Amino acid sequence: MQVADLERIAKLALRELGAGDPPIAIASAAQPGCWTIDVGGSEPAVLRIRAGAGTTPQFVREQIVTQFVNR
């Protein structure tokens, strides 16, 4: 999965959750296939997701939604 794909999925998921369009920064984590998404704005959060080759957008979205709601 590419950074641009992760960014697109994250922005859509955050909009669906009512977070608006907060600034996000995506970085590769130490382990292959692991990423961190820093969400700024009025409700800052750091999300850690798994997304490697063959990962579906739905799986990425579910991780983002679950972590953002449960923070």
- Contact (Cβ atoms closer than 8 angstroms) between residue 18 and residue 38: no
Domain ranges, residue 27: 3-69
Number of domains observed in the structure of the chain? 1
> What is the spatial distance between Cα 10 and Cα 61, in angstroms, rounded to a whole number?
7
Tens digits of residue pLDDT in 33-67:
999 999 998 879 999 999 998 999 999 999 999 99
pTM of the model: 0.90
Mean predicted confidence (pLDDT) in 8-35: 95
Residue-level pLDDT at 68: 95
User: Which residue, 69, 65, 45, is CA-closest to 57?
Assistant: 65
- Contact (Cβ atoms closer than 8 angstroms) between residue 32 and residue 52: yes
Q: Is 1's pLDDT higher than 90? A: no
